[in-house]
Chain A
Amino acid sequence: MKRIGEQFDGWIYAVFALVTLCVFFACVCLGSVPIPLRDTVQVVHDAVRGVPSGAALSLARSVVVPIRLPRVLCVALVGASLSLAGAAMQGLLKNPLADGSTLGVSSGASLGAVLAIAFGITFPRLPFAGTMVMAILFALLSLLIILSLSYRLDGSLSTSTIILIGVIFSMFASSVMSIVITFASDRLRSITFWTMGSLQGSSYRNAAILAATLAVSGTVLLLHARELNAFAIGDDNARQIGVNVRRVRLTVLVMVSCLVGVCVSIGGTIGFVGLVTPHMVRLVVGPNHKRLLPASLFSGAVFLMLADLAARTLFSPRELPLGVVTSMVGAAMFVAIYYRSRWR
């Protein structure tokens, strides 16, 4: 049953990890405020050892250690999470256009977070847990709604049906958001800004939350690579080779919702990451999920770090919203993929 390509797994992992590390390093060194490479290395080294840097390095230290480093970390983790979630959904639904943003899962998660802000849903001593839990719950809820509606319309879950339902659901979610915003007068300002999302001001705590989520959900998804391969051929095929279809499908959906929900509650909606990277990766490593999933994880991180670098530096000192950059690349990709899948 083993394919020849699988033997190269370790080697492929190493290459992807190395590229990711290099890009991470570059993104920490480059930014809106130019800081010499030597100083960057020096202040990070000092910070790790816990000693203060010299007076000449005080700007470099306060730019790199508390601002740039956590931001690049968060961006990398969000990119990896969204990309992995996208790849898993595409496999599960046998649908090349499935992604948090096209299916309306991100809008659903935003709606959950906005409701949490509007109604002041919080957990004592955990200030951000309210929005996060609501975002995850609503991400899962929207996935279930979208999928059950699509099943009812056509059992085979064809690409166009599921995308249509996703778009309609997105519109529905944003109109509900508008209603909430209209009635939540005094919190209005913060909600309006919230829906735009931003990874500015990312902290190490955000990075830790993202890393923990990715560690749990990511491991579970990676362990389901074999089942996803079976789903990619067909649900019946999966059932025949002994996959518990119901259980696996639910597990994957819950994990995807956790990833999307946490990303949305920290960075807002960043579209198309889960769509673009798995497709580019598929061209390189092929459709086998055992390689596709880890490769998507690394490439998602690389893609979003580069997009964020562009957002930070292209028009410095101005900054572009990250979602604008990814949507620009993503929309072009979406059209290309859709046409290709139509003409085949």
Chain B
Amino acid sequence: MKKLKKTGALLIAALMLLALSSCGKGADTTVTLTDMMGHEVTLDKPAERIVALSAADCEIVYALGAGDLLVGRGEWCDYPAEVFDVPSVESGGNTNVEQILLLKPDVLVMSSMAQTEEQVKQLEDAGVAVVVSDAKDIAGVYTSIELLGKLLGKDAEAAKIISDMKEGFAGIEANKLDGTKSVYFEVSPLEWGLWTAGKNTFMDEIATMMGLENCFGDLDGWAEISEEQVLARNPDYIVTITMYFGEGPTPVEEILSRPGWENVTAVRNQAILNLQNNELSRPAPRLADGAKMLYDFVIENAQALTPAA
């Protein structure tokens, strides 16, 4: 028994030495970062196998040019198309630790909403680092991109994406509208009850940035609203993010045909934009594209209307 203990102690000492020496050798590749929940995470080297649960983080991984390092994705990830070739795991409330461990990742990236302490502990005990990326505003998206860039050893790429986004936004902000026109964001169509985006959403932040007034800026976050209120607030533009599955009227046609809406300025001018691919609702690099699409749409419409006025 005593002998066994002694051997064990020796073995541990030897292992520790080995670990120390390997640490010493790879010191220059060590990655240390603080995630968006304030946890410090240290890795010996940039991650080579990563699982990302949120759709936004998957997009960022691809934007960084690191799509080949993605070994697993959350079930709702849908952009870019290559992401569908990556094995899908359950996410959100159904996050399944076993599924994730089976993919043998170095790192799991998830949002704060989905995780429980037990799950994080199980993952960390199995040697998987857990990093929280959870952007609530555009500044947060920059942090997410920076974080993932560091994690994957793609700092330069991350800096490039961020500067491109900033440039895009700056271009819009420099020529911003006068704040007299209003926009109504429709998140869920009438058939299922109208939902809109109030303040503290990406849509509201981007509308404000380009000098458009959000009709429902007095509400906080996502909200179900009365149909009558849209009519009373009479938006100049409508942005709907309803998906179209190729049957029945398109989301734009459906809004144009709603009884009682014919006097809404946006409907009268047919100023309705359908953004189907989460350009304005997902904390990912494409937010800048979505902002540009909305801005161009507003400018085009304004120009089309000027001669008539």
Q: How many residues of B contact A (CB 8 A)?
A: 28
Are A31 and B231 in contact (CB-based, < 8 A)? no
For B41, what are the chain A residues with a Cβ–Cβ distance below 8 Å? none
A96 interfacial by beta-carbon distance below 8 Å: no
B306 interfacial by beta-carbon distance below 8 Å: no
B261 interfacial by beta-carbon distance below 8 Å: yes
Q: How far is the CB of A184 from chain B (nearest CB, A)?
A: 11
B142 interfacial by beta-carbon distance below 8 Å: no
For B227, what are the chain A residues with a Cβ–Cβ distance below 8 Å? 67, 200-201
Known: A189-B243, A317-B229. A58 touches B193 (CB 8 A): no
Considering the chains assembled together, what is the distance between the CA atoms of A80 and B289 in angstroms?
Answer: 50
A327 interfacial by beta-carbon distance below 8 Å: no
Are B229 and A67 in contact (CB-based, < 8 A)? no
B260 interfacial by beta-carbon distance below 8 Å: yes
Considering the chains assembled together, what is the distance between the CA atoms of A63 and B232 in angstroms?
Answer: 8
For B229, what are the chain A residues with a Cβ–Cβ distance below 8 Å? 32-33, 316-317
B225 interfacial by beta-carbon distance below 8 Å: yes
A321 interfacial by beta-carbon distance below 8 Å: yes
Are A201 and B190 in contact (CB-based, < 8 A)? yes
Q: How far is the CB of A106 from chain B (nearest CB, A)?
A: 18
Are B260 and A65 in contact (CB-based, < 8 A)? yes
Are B263 and A59 in contact (CB-based, < 8 A)? yes
For B190, what are the chain A residues with a Cβ–Cβ distance below 8 Å? 200-201
Q: Which of B17-25, B216-224, B296-304 contacts A (4 or more CB under 8 A)?
A: B216-224
Considering the chains assembled together, what is the distance between the CA atoms of A31 and B227 in angstroms?
Answer: 11
Considering the chains assembled together, what is the distance between the CA atoms of A65 and B259 in angstroms?
Answer: 9
Known: A33-B228, A317-B216, A317-B229. A62 touches B260 (CB 8 A): yes
A286 interfacial by beta-carbon distance below 8 Å: no
Partner of B192 from the list A31, A68, A198, A316 (CB cut-off 8 Å) is A198
Partner of B231 from the list A33, A190, A196, A201 (CB cut-off 8 Å) is A33
Partner of B224 from the list A33, A68, A127, A319 (CB cut-off 8 Å) is A319
For B259, what are the chain A residues with a Cβ–Cβ distance below 8 Å? 66-67, 203
Considering the chains assembled together, what is the distance between the CA atoms of A200 and B226 in angstroms?
Answer: 8
Considering the chains assembled together, what is the distance between the CA atoms of A67 and B194 in angstroms?
Answer: 13
For A200, what are the chain B residues with a Cβ–Cβ distance below 8 Å? 190, 193-194, 226-227
B281 interfacial by beta-carbon distance below 8 Å: no
Q: How far is the CB of A207 from chain B (nearest CB, A)?
A: 13
Most buried by B among A66, A196, A316: A66
Considering the chains assembled together, what is the distance between the CA atoms of A320 and B226 in angstroms?
Answer: 9
Considering the chains assembled together, what is the distance between the CA atoms of A12 and B223 in angstroms?
Answer: 43
A246 interfacial by beta-carbon distance below 8 Å: no
Are B192 and A194 in contact (CB-based, < 8 A)? yes
For B188, what are the chain A residues with a Cβ–Cβ distance below 8 Å? 193
Are A190 and B192 in contact (CB-based, < 8 A)? yes
For A189, what are the chain B residues with a Cβ–Cβ distance below 8 Å? 243
Question: Which B residues form the contact surface with A (CB < 8 A)?
Answer: 188, 190-194, 216, 218-219, 223-229, 231-232, 234, 243, 245, 248, 258-263
Question: Which A residues form the contact surface with B (CB < 8 A)?
Answer: 31-33, 58-59, 62-63, 65-68, 127, 186-187, 189-190, 193-194, 196, 198, 200-201, 203, 312, 316-321
Nearest 3 Cβ contacts at the A-B interface: A66-B260, A193-B192, A66-B259
